[in-house]
Amino acid sequence: MEINHRQQDKFSEEHSSLWIELFDGSKRDIDFLEIEKAIKDFCFIRHELSNYSCLYASQLSFDGHLILPYWEYLFVKGQINESDKDDLEEGALLTIYLYFKEIYEAEGWSFLYKHKLFETFQKTLDTYIPDKDKKRELVRKIKFIQAHYSNEKLGDQYSQKLDKEDEILRQTLTQNDEWVYFEFVEKYYIDIANSFEPLRQKTKSYFDNILNGRRE
């Protein structure tokens, strides 16, 4: 059985064996309490996105309570379970996509403009190496939205007729939004719902083995 490092470590008196290595060469120690705060925020983000049938970033308060440096969780090192690593990296990539998506929706200054994070995200994406197809695909879609965020014709506020090139870009952006919404919002909840019965059976099997071992 795989060791649950998060559950084991957060109740330990010893120093956590986790750290973040950033693209600028800096390093900072973290613990599982910080990781749980990030995962909690990612769960909240998905919950809020589920209020709509499409991807809508402007409803999120990135300058209010969603204030962690989420992009840094792409670079967590140390003793961490694969499931937690996936939760962190997928949540961080989803949030980065939403930062750029907000530009297309908002009439005023977005989070990225306000905090001048464009160069940070450029270096982040250049440094990050995704380990799964789902993450690789989201990185590609982030880079697409990143490459075209300054095209005002793609914004939700633009109502004039588009030329052929911009129409293709708009269609690609819409398709990307739909893919992100399905894979990281809809499918997220579908997968959770489908996990209850296998988990119930796994738990029953675990305790049955304990009881059988005692009887022997």
Closest CA relative to residue 155, chosen from 93, 101, 117: 101
Structure tokens at 16: 């956590």
pLDDT on residue 12: 52
| Residues of the chain under the 50 pLDDT cut | 1, 3, 5-8, 13
Give me the number of domains the chain comprises: 1
The confidence score (pLDDT) of residue 210 equals 66
Please report the pLDDT score of residue 24 as a whole number.
85
Find the domain containing 154 and state its range: 5-215
The Cβ of residue 119 has, within 10 Å, a number of other Cβ atoms equal to 8
For 127-153, what is each residue's pLDDT tens digit?
A: 999 999 999 999 999 999 999 998 888
- 180 touches 141 (CB < 8 A): yes
Q: What's the confidence (pLDDT) of residue 13? A: 47
Q: According to DSSP H, which parts of 50-163 are helical? A: 82-105, 111-115, 118-127, 133-148
Burial of 183 (0-12, 13-18, 19+ CB in 10 A): middle
Report pLDDT for 153. 87
Count of CB atoms situated within 10 Å of the CB of 214: 7
Distances 190 to 82, 85, 183, 194, 195 between C-alpha atoms, Å: 20, 20, 10, 6, 9
Tell me the whole-structure pTM to 2 decimals. 0.84
Specify burial of residue 108 (Cβ count, 10 A radius: 0-12, 13-18, 19+). Answer: exposed
